[in-house]
Structure 1
């Protein structure tokens, strides 16, 4: 599990990952009533334990805005 402090665009090449997973999004309030967006993924069918929670990322307002800005710029939202 990771709390994402910031999101920065990095130039470079990448490659499409061969496995596909479904992401689940939860929205809840932290103890101080700050909204948190949490994205969970489950292990792919190729993993030893398919369907087991694999990764969790949590975003606060600032990091979510940074991600939103990158998505907006990339996909012309």
Structure 2
């Protein structure tokens, strides 16, 4: 699990598309701040299908940073 508060842009020499997987989100309050948690679930072909794979958390600072990236990259 990781709480993300900022993002740094990094150029990559090679990029590839990943398979589509399921994800879920929840939000909760901890120590007076709202946390958005996103959980991903691995491929259905995994040894344990439906098992949670990765979790990221965003507080308000991280959410604002991601929001600005999304607006810029998708011209929203």
Task: Please state which band the TM-score falls in when normalised by the shorter chain.
Answer: 0.7 to 0.9
Task: Work out whether residues 9 and 70 of structure 1, in 8 Å CA contact, stay in contact via their aligned partners in 2.
Answer: no
2:12 counterpart of 1:29: no
Unaligned runs of 5+ in 2: none
- In the superposition, the TM-score normalised over structure 1's length comes to 0.86
User: Could you tell me whether the CA contact under 8 Å between 2:5 and 2:65 is conserved in 1?
Assistant: no
Kindly state the Cα deviation for residue 9 of structure 1 after the two structures are TM-superposed: 2.0
**What TM-score results when the alignment is normalised by the length of structure 2?**
0.86
More strand by share: 2
Cα distance, 1:11 vs. partner?
Answer: 2.2
**Misfit runs of 4+, over 6 Å:** none
Partners of 1:49 and 1:75 in 2: how far apart? 35
